[in-house]
Chain A
Amino acid sequence: MTEVLTNSGLQLVLLLLVAPMLSGMIKTLKARLQTRRGPGVLQSYRDIIKLLRKGMVIPETASWIFSATPYLVFGTATLVGLMIPMTTTHAPFSLFGGVLAVVYLLALGRFFLALGGLDTGSSFGGLGSSREMTISAIAEPAMMLAIFTVALGANSTNLSEMAKVAVGQSWRFLAPSQMLAFAALFIVLIAETGRIPVDNPATHLELTMIHEAMVLEYSGPYLALIEWGASIKQLVLMTLLVNTFFPFGLSPDWTVRAVGVGLVFYLAKLLLLACLIVLVETTNAKLRLFRVPELLMVAFILGALALISTFLF
């Protein structure tokens, strides 16, 4: 029991601290690629601290949903974070069906975020919510297919179980099914974290926003929770990607040495994936809104092919 508590405590700290750092890192890398100096890596922490200290403006038309959403977004993202293996093959929590719970807890957060956008009655929020739902309607099945491909290989939907099997066969990612699934999940990652070419996290143009439009009315601590929650969700998805497909360095137990080595490997893998995201974001323009579903359909089809090819090869 104490082991579970220390483990989850450790992973929680890691989750809360690494997530803003990763967002900051992506921003800094992007700026450097654009010949700008950009904000420092620690900027996301400063933003969160600043927002937590500020007062809030809550629209008169808002109901309890508006206030519940930030906690739900933050809570679901954190809970999901505790269910996936980060530095060891052992995730602290394993709830009802493992990977299914991950997908649907994230969906719950998104559902409330969309409700929160609608709740204020502002037209921008409504636009954002409707766009988010359109996108997730396709992104979600694509994600399921890709993850099932991996789960099939491990004969389990339990993420720790999947990680353990993966560690046993380090070069498995070269299999066609794994590569297809990785590509599908990468597109889903881009869409779910609101990055170019799907959404532009740095825009000030309300009319083009997706994620940002839903949270336009939030301020102060609520906004801090949502932003923090969004960066945790990003970390969770990236972790899912690096640890299921490239399980190098995942330590089999919770000893200090193993966790240390695991942490170094883990951060290095995250950094590489962040670089890939930054490259995609810098070399592409944003897609026309109505072509985003086409991109996600590609992810869906890649996921489907991955699933089929596990039976073929």
Chain B
Amino acid sequence: MMTQAMSAMFEALRQKLGPQVQSVRADREDEIYLLLADADIRPITEHLRGQFGARLVTVFAEDRRATEGVFFNYYVFEQKGSAQYLIVQAPVRSDSLEFPSLSAELPAVNWQEREIQDWFGLKAAGHPNPRRVALHDNWPDVYPLRKDFPLETVLPPFEGERHIYRPAFGEGVLQVPVGPVHAGIIEPGHFNFAVAGEPILYLQLRMFYTHKGTEKLFEQLPIHKAVFLAESISGDSSFSHGTAFCQAIERAANIEVPLRGLVMRTILLELERICNHVGDIGAIATDVGFVIANAHASRLKETLVTLNEQLTGSRLLRGMVCVGGVRRSWDAAQLGALRSTVDSFAREFRDLISLIDRSESTRDRLEQTGVLRPDKARDLGIVGVGGRASGVDLDVRRDHPYAAYSRYSFRVPVYQAGDVWHRMQVRIDEVNESIGIVQNAMADGLRREFRVPVPPIPSDRCALSAVEGWRGEIIHWIRTGPDNHLERCKIKDPSLNNWPALVEAVQGNIIADFPVINKSFNLSYSGTDR
């Protein structure tokens, strides 16, 4: 499959970069693969970013030594205004195991390149901080995502320091370790603050305490079971991750999901967004001690998760999405519950927001707190809510429409201020837009099929799938294998890019404000650690 525009682009790239650009293929019209002759990604990155203003979405690797004798690094690019993804595939030779690092110019891929180092044993040459990230320092030298590492491997006992933090010096400078076990019901992560009195000088983050080898697990499961694994990548984004995964399989196997299935997915994706956003708005209010707002937000959230249970049998929307559509349709009673709950929610949500708007003490706490400057947000590749509050105008629903989003119009809120108040404002606006989408979608394609039967999944097909989860851009990339199994499944949760934003946003704030800044991003530990 080679369109005229593509061959023109290929010729242009070839002219510019010479024989390094080997071939181009389009698996789908919005998914173009460009194969390089060697691992040197720098010239083409520079060209794509400089010439086309392209954004590097994600970087990941694959062990193809068995079939092609090399590792591959994949660099996914997107361009503003185009629904296409350009995936540059760069071979990394299995004798040198080295690829050039982009982190110095593109801090956004810092952690992702180090993940490749930890999981595949490839070396990011020239990385400014090549220490371990995804596996802790006390891990033995094993590379779990290589094909010759069996899942059942029993590792030798771990020894040595788990992680060495940079010391902070200076008169009156203290290091305050917080975590990895926290008060309240949250996941593990270690925050090491260097403080001078109350102001924070520097924050060191340590994640991956809940690394579960999820990407490896995907390679062991039959595809229909892998859907459930996808739903458990990050509990509060069950439906988004499940949908992203199913979409990837559907794209690989050319399965066309019927309209009603797409519409129902859209509704459930938006319900997940509303539910989590309301919870977050309440949680931000709690963290500044405005408990009354949280009491109402919790009550509203409860009406939504009860609706979730009525619609899908699960408060977290699990077990509903499947390859080929959704598992069941809704009867009149369920549709009635959906309509009445969303209508009354819309009304009560307005009351909640005016309660918060009228509280000057709350506004005083949130404005100018935890500012993430737009230039920093762009450099760090921040996506989702945190990005949109800092001028990063990205939304997969609009930029790469999936499910039934192209049928509905909605506004993507973008602010420049980048403080906690505006991260909350983005959530408020998005909830209002989502209510509109759900109300429009309820009666759409009502009496049609909601699922198609799934044919055998062909082997050795690649597919990229993107979903705007409530936190931001979720990417799943798969390569199918024989017998209804996967060769590789790459998962990128928005939290992975966004954690470093926290480091920027807290600088210069006082340590007592950290919890509310953290909550305004509300990133997933499980989704990051996988």
Contacts A197-B361, A288-B365; A34 near B291 (Cβ below 8 A): yes
In this complex, the interface size class of chain A, counting residues with CB under 8 Å from chain B, is 20 to 34
In the complex, which range does the number of interface residues on chain B fall in?
A: 20 to 34
Which residues of chain B are within 8 angstroms of A285 by Cβ–Cβ distance? 285, 288-290, 359, 361-362, 364-365
B295 close to A (CB within 8 Å): yes
> Which B residue's beta carbon lies closest to that of A290?
B510
Stretch at the interface among B342-350, B406-414, B426-434, B512-520: B512-520
Encode B488-513 as 1/0 by CB contact (under 8 A) with A. Answer: 00000000000000000000001111
Over the window 343-379 of chain B, the binary record of Cβ atoms lying under 8 Å from chain A Cβ atoms (1 yes, 0 no) is 0000000000000000101101100000000000000
Which residues of chain B in 268-299 are interfacial with respect to chain A, using CB atoms and an 8 Å cutoff?
285, 287-292, 295-296, 299
Nearest B residue to A209 by beta-carbon distance? B512
Whole-angstrom distance from the CB of B269 to the nearest CB of chain A?
30
Across-interface contacts of B184 in A (CB, < 8 A): 204-205
- Which of A36, A207, A285, A287 has the most B CB atoms < 10 Å from its CB? A285
A residues in contact with B183, CB < 8 Å: 204-206
B176 contacts chain A at the CB level, 8 A cutoff = yes
A 198-234 binary contact with B (CB < 8 Å = 1; else 0): 0010111111100000000000000000000000000
Say whether, besides A35-B299, A123-B174, A285-B365, A207 and B511 are in contact (CB < 8 Å).
yes
Chain B residues near A288: list those with CB within 8 A: 364-365, 510, 512-513
Q: Is B178 an interface residue (CB 8 A)?
A: yes
Question: Taking the complex as formed, is B11 at the interface, i.e. its CB lies under 8 A from any CB of chain A?
Answer: no
| A6 within 8 Å of B (CB atoms) | no
Interface residue ranges of A182-202 to B (CB < 8 Å): 196-197, 200, 202
A127-B361 in contact (CB<8A): no
The answer to whether A206 and B178 have CB atoms under 8 Å apart is yes
A-B contact count (CB 8 A): 80
CB proximity to B under 8 Å, residues A11-68: 30, 33-36
Q: A197-B361, A286-B288, A290-B198 are in contact. Are A208 and B296 (CB under 8 A)?
A: no
The answer to the question of A255 belonging to the interface, with a C-beta cut-off of 8 Å to chain B, is no
Contacts of A197 in B (CB 8 A): 289, 361
Is the C-beta of A2 less than 8 angstroms from some C-beta in chain B? Answer: no
Q: How far is the CA of A17 from the CA of B375 in the complex (A)?
A: 59
**Separation of A202 and B295 alpha carbons in the complex (Å):** 14
A202 CB contacts on chain B under 8 angstroms: 291
B285 touches A123 (CB 8 A): no
Assembled-state Cα–Cα distance A199/B146 (Å): 52
B481 to chain A, nearest CB (A): 46
Pairwise interchain contact B510-A289, C-beta atoms closer than 8 A:
yes
Which residues of A approach B to under 8 Å, CB–CB?
30, 33-36, 123-124, 126-127, 130, 196-197, 200, 202-208, 281-291
Give B residues with C-beta under 8 Å from A. 174-178, 183-184, 197-198, 285, 287-292, 295-296, 299, 359, 361-362, 364-365, 510-515
A207-B511, A285-B364, A288-B512 are known; give 10 further A-B pairs, CB within 8 A. A34-B291, A35-B296, A123-B176, A207-B514, A208-B513, A208-B515, A284-B289, A285-B289, A285-B362, A289-B512
Please list the 4 inter-chain residue pairs (A to B) with the smallest Cβ-Cβ separation, ordered nearest first. A286-B289, A34-B295, A285-B290, A285-B361
